[in-house]
Structure 1
Amino acid sequence: MKPEPAGVTPAVLALSRNERNRMVFQAPDPVPAGQAFDVIAVNGRTPHELPDFVGEAAFTIQATGQDRLVTGSGSITGSVVRFHEKDVDHGGKDVRVWLISPTEPPGQFTARTSQ
Structure 2
Amino acid sequence: MNLEGCPTVYLLASRRNGTLYVGVTSDLMGRIHKHREGLLPGFTRDYGVKRLVWFEPHATMEDAILREKRIKKWNRAWKLELIEKSNPDWNDLSESFGFKPLG
State the TM-score, normalizing by the size of structure 1: 0.23
Structure with the larger RCO, 1 or 2 (CA within 8 Å, 6+ apart): 2
State the TM-score, normalizing by the size of structure 2: 0.24
Q: Which has the larger radius of gyration?
A: 1
Higher strand share: 1
Higher helix share: 2
